[in-house]
Amino acid sequence: MSDTFSPSLVIDGTLYTLLAFSVITWTLIFYKIWQFTKNSYDNQRFTKLFWDAPDLPEAETVAMQTTKGPQARIAQQGFRWLTENRQAEGKSLKFKGVPVDLLEQALLEQMQKEQHTMENGLTMLASIGSTAPFVGLFGTVLGIMHAMHEITASGSTSLDVVAGPIGDALVATAIGIAVAVPAVLAYNFFLRRVRHQRIGLENFVVSFIHVALTDDNQGESHGV
């Protein structure tokens, strides 16, 4: 091999890359566990306060005073839309159309933002899970090549000489698999959590639309 090329440096670089992958994976795992746990707690707390409110104005006060949780932020977006719609009085093109469809669009836009926040980091986990074994295999191939050159240079083919370097080279593949397995399992687990929480947000959107527009219609009827 060329004097300018050092296989040992490449192999060490591969192992350090896998170490970085492992650190990123476990950092994301702990962060996502905290995030989903916090979202569940905040949503449960907000749901109780919101639906225990005696009327829509009180529910709006609860939503505007609560700054934590995806459902609270969706409710805030809905109440902002309702306020802007009343003030516009049909003068703005933004509010031209069926109110239920326009309100639903505003709520879904906020829900998509919340889903995007929940999905942050999952692409990294999927990428690490799919690439870590190949990075480890790359290190193993280089390690075996390096070992073969060392064996050739020594002129000995005894089992003691061959087994040691090749065994060390195979460690990279084992590390790559060890890094990939938690990443793949975590990705699948958190993907299910995203879907579960999205269902809860969708149900809240439907209920919010029904309550908000029903209250608005009743208010208009009393005002006639």
- Residue percentage of the chain with pLDDT more than 70: 81
For residues 127 and 17, give the distance between their C-alpha atoms in angstroms, rounded to a whole number.
Answer: 13
Integer Cα distance of 136 and 143 in angstroms:
10
CA quadruple 50, 55, 56, 58: dihedral positive or negative? negative
CA distance 119 to 187: 10
Residue 89 predicted with pLDDT over 90: no
User: Do residues 82 and 214 make contact, with C-beta atoms less than 8 angstroms apart?
Assistant: no
When pLDDT is cut at 50, 70 and 90, the band that residue 1 belongs to is: very low
Q: Where are the domains of the chain?
A: 22-215
pLDDT at 18 over 50: yes
Q: Given this model, what pLDDT does residue 159 score?
A: 58
Q: Is the pLDDT of residue 61 over 60?
A: yes
| Positive or negative: CA dihedral 191, 195, 200, 201 | positive
